[in-house]
Each structure stands twice: as C-alpha cells, then as structure tokens.
Chains A and B, each alone.
Chain A
Amino acid sequence: MDGVGAFSLLLSGDPALFAIVRLSLFVTLSAVMLAAAFGLPFGAFVALTQFRGRGGVIVALNALMGLPPVVVGLLVFLALSRSGPLGFLGLLFTPGAMIIAQAILIAPIIAALTRQVIEDLWVEYCDEFTAMDVSPLGRVAALLWDGRFSLVTIFLAGFGRAAAEVGAVMIVGGNIDGFTRVMTTTIALETSKGNLPLAIGLGLVLIAIVVAVNTLAWSVRQWSERHAG
C-alpha cells in the first residue's frame, strides 16, 4: 500500500479508514463547540469590561494560544487518570478525553481572537451603544452577531489547530484501534511502522479534509453575506 493507496482506500469507502476520518471530525468539531461555549463569552466579556488585571488576562490569553499540545495532553491525562482527581469519570482513553484535551487547547485561541474582534467592533459602535443605552448583554449579543463572519474564521483557526495536533490525543486517547484512533495518531503509527508512503498519503487526506471544511465555511460565508445584503 502506498500514498495513492490511502486515497483509493478513502474513495473505495474502506470502513476502517472511514471510521478514523469520522472520529477525527467528530472529536475536533465537538472540541471546537465546547471551546467556543467558553471562549466566545469569555472573550467578549474581557473585550467589553474594565476590571483590575485585565491587561494580564489579555496577555495570558494571547500566550495560551501557543499551548503545547503535549503539555495539555499530559495535564488532562493526570486529571483523568484513575489515580487522578477526575479518575472516577472513567474518561481516560475515550473520545471524551480527546474532546476535553482539544477543547482546552483551542479555547484560549477562540477567546483571545474573539476578544480582539469584539474590541475592534466596540470602538466602532461605542458611541451608538452609549447613546441608545444598550444593556451589557445586549451589547455582547449585538457585537457577536455583527462580528459573526470574523468569528467563523476564528472557529476555523481553532478547528485547524485541533485537527492537526497529535500530542494531546495520543496521550489521552491512547490511539486504540477502532476506538480512539484518529488521523494524526494513525499517521504517527504508520510512520513508526516504517510505512512512510501510507503515512504521507494519510497526511494528504487530512490536509484535503481541512481544505474541504474551510471551503465549506467560506461558501457559507459568501452565501450569507450575499443574503444578509
């Protein structure tokens, strides 16, 4: 089996490879959702609120965008291990653990970029809001809505980062065949087996998937921009 083999496997609907691709998408999309649930409101909050230590929070958020996946993986591993504080959940070596690790990895990216987008918009709308006496929650909602196209790009940044990482999911997922094996861990495994052409082929499939997701997002944006007039 060679690099072309990976594509023909995918096209011919090889169930094992298909399951791996599906799990990759499932884990990463779930992680993006989870990270957005925390990152969006937190980013918006920091953008629109004045509080002591705000500068420190912004620096910390920006710095955490560079969190090393392997460190996140290790921390989540220690927390979810049977000997760790959350061991009773039985989540280690499950897709759930992988979602948590990736969500922690990308939540700072989403929060930091959201903060920037909302803050820039705020400068534009500041006077209007003050004049119309809009409530804080209303401001957040209005700004998030107005910045929705930029927010899509933020999601994609998070998605790309999570889809590409191998360090965290390898540690907390365990790369279990048919259960927690995703694209990146498969590539690492095939590389270690000396199956370099197949590893490259799988890498190209992964890149193609990321391109496809981005194309979809771009199309949706084009479409909605046209229809939002």
Chain B
Amino acid sequence: MRTRLIAQLLAAAAVTIGASAPSAAQDKSIIVASTTSTQDSGLFSHLLPLFKAKTAIDVKVVAQGTGQALDTGRRGDADVVFVHAKAQEEKLVADGFGVKRFDVMYNDFVLIGPKPDPARIKGSKDILAALKAIHLAAAPFVSRGDKSGTHSAELALWKAAMLDPAGAKPAWYREIGQGMGAALNTSSAMGAYVLSDRGTWISFKNKDALEIVVEGDAKLFNQYGIVLVNPDKHSAVKKDLGQAFIDWMISKEGQSEIRSYRIEGQQLFFPNANPEHLKKTE
C-alpha cells in the first residue's frame, strides 16, 4: 500500500513538472535575456503588453547582468538577447551565437554620489576628471563587479582616466558583484560614489542621501542593442517569434513607445534604431 501511494505521489509530481514544460505546438512565447536596467526601470512592463496585444506573443524576460544575459543566449537558454555592451554583443554575433545585432535605444550613465561629496566633484561635466578626484581623495566607490554592461562601462572609464583601481584594489574601491539596485542600496548605506544607468537611477526608490554628481559627458553614452540567438547553433530557438519581437522593437511603433515611456515626467530611454531599418519594417 505504501509503495502504491509513493508511486501515485511520484506520478503526480511528474505530471506537475511535465505540465510546466511548454508544449512547442501551441506555446507562443519567447524568452528574452535582458539586463536589470530594462526591467527595474519598468520599460518592459510598458512595452510587453503592447507587443502582446499586437502579436499575441508572450515575452518572458529573464533580467540578468549583461555578461550573464549574453551567456544565457550563448547557451541557447534564451531566444533574444537585449543588453547594453556593444563590443560584447558584436562578439556574440562574430562567434556565431547571434544572428545580427540591431541598435535599439540609448540612455546615459550618471555618476551618483553622497550629498556631502567628499571628492568635491558635484556639477562637473568631465567624468574622467571626477574619477581622478575620487581616486585622489580615496573616497568610497562602489563597483558592480559583475561583468554587467554598467560594470564594463565603468572599467572603460577608469582605463580612459589612466587609473586601475579594479587591479590595484585599494580599500576605497569596493566591488560588490551585484546588480544595479543592490549597488545603489550599498552606496546609499556607505556614502559611496557609484556609476549607474539613468533609467535605474530615476526609478530607484531608496535614493536617501544620494544624488547625481556628474552627468552630460559624451563618454557616458549608453547604447542598447538586440540580437537574435542563432538557431543554427541551438535548434530550440524560436526564430520567427524572436525576430518578430526584434522587428517590433526597432519598428516605428516600438520606437515611439520607447520614447513615450516616462517616470515622473522624465524620459528614460531614447530610441535610435537605424532609420533605414525603420523604413523596411513599416
């Protein structure tokens, strides 16, 4: 009797697990590996219902750091990758794991700092000079340290300022290995400087004693791109549905929806898909 009960339990569990695996025939959904910034800023909650209403395609977003999102695509665990590290996206395509990369939109990075501003850089428009001042003052600086797009951008800026705190690891440079929100929470708690994308900063709720100290430098440009995972490498990739999503994101409609997304009156992302492609997808 006991064994029969166990067999029944097992069968129930197997059915449960089996039922949760999407059946290929009727499942009109794709997985998009994207960044925490696009999700936490609420952009997807704005775009996805519109896309679904139009195409009936369910978009399931897995929000990760850019490095992890690219890896998710590389393993074939996502159909589309939507991130912000152009060089790495192009590498995905060059390695044959992505079909083609499209520009979608941009926003910018901002340097966030504690209100007392120990490095005395508030109001500067020169990010490199600001980083040098932080270095000189040995003021606390929180680094994402998670191979995300923002982390890559931060490392590139230090390099451009001819400094290497990530290599030298001084006590004021703190790599936390977490997402943007966690980095902002940490900076808020320890009164540190931190590089953030503007979207996450605007929507972040725990600003507390933090404020923007440096913005507006052309070096703080933050480009987002979208790539279809190559179905030749991973046969499970839903090529047509994934491409439909990409086409919509860079279409006139998708671009205008990105432009209209605002929090507290502030536009978070600026669409900049290639105009030639716009014409083609209309």
Contacts and interface: CB of A to CB of B under 8 A. Distances in A.
Given A41-B6, A94-B21, A82 B236 contact: yes
A192 B40 contact: yes
Given A94-B22, A177-B61, A193 B205 contact: yes
22 contacts: A33-B12, A34-B10, A34-B17, A37-B10, A41-B2, A87-B236, A90-B22, A91-B20, A92-B77, A93-B60, A94-B20, A96-B17, A137-B3, A176-B31, A176-B61, A177-B44, A192-B178, A192-B179, A192-B180, A193-B40, A195-B206, A196-B185
A212 B162 CA distance: 58
Contacts of B163: none
A144 B3 CA distance: 12
Nearest to B210: A194
A83 interface: yes
A103 B13 CA distance: 10
B221 interface: no
A174 interface: yes
Interface string B15-46: 01111111010000001000010001000110
A194 B20 contact: no
Contact of A81 (B12, B45, B75): B75
Contacts of B207: 194
A195 B12 contact: no
A175 B61 CA distance: 8
B1 A141 contact: yes
Interface in B170-196: 178-182, 184-185, 188
B46 to A, nearest CB: 12
Nearest to B1: A141
A40 interface: yes
Interface residues of A, number: 39
B36 A176 contact: no
Contacts of A99: 13, 16-17, 20
A112 interface: no
B234 interface: yes
Contact of A176 (B62, B179, B236): B62
Contacts of A89: 21
A8 interface: no
Contacts, number: 112
Interface string A114-145: 00000000000000000000000100110010
Nearest to B40: A193
B244 interface: no
A46 to B, nearest CB: 16
A175 B64 CA distance: 10
Contact of A191 (B17, B63, B181, B236): B181
B62 A174 contact: yes
A93 B77 contact: yes
B33 to A, nearest CB: 9
Given A82-B76, A176-B62, A177-B61, A193 B17 contact: no
Task: Output the residue of A99, A194, A196 with the most chain B CB within 10 A.
Answer: A194
Nearest to B180: A192
Interface string A1-37: 0000000000000000000000000000010011011
A193 B203 contact: yes
Given A81-B75, A100-B17, A194-B205, A93 B31 contact: yes
A13 B79 CA distance: 34
A192 B181 CA distance: 4
Contacts of B63: 175
A30 B16 contact: yes
Contacts of B60: 93, 174, 176-177, 179
Nearest to A36: B9
A22 B196 CA distance: 35
B12 A93 contact: no
A69 interface: no
Contacts of B2: 41, 137, 140-141, 144
Contacts of B188: 194
Contacts of B31: 93, 174, 176
A195 B21 contact: no
Nearest to A100: B17
A89 B22 CA distance: 9
Task: Output the residue of B17, B36, B180 with the most chain A CB within 10 A.
Answer: B17
A34 B180 CA distance: 36
Contacts of B179: 192
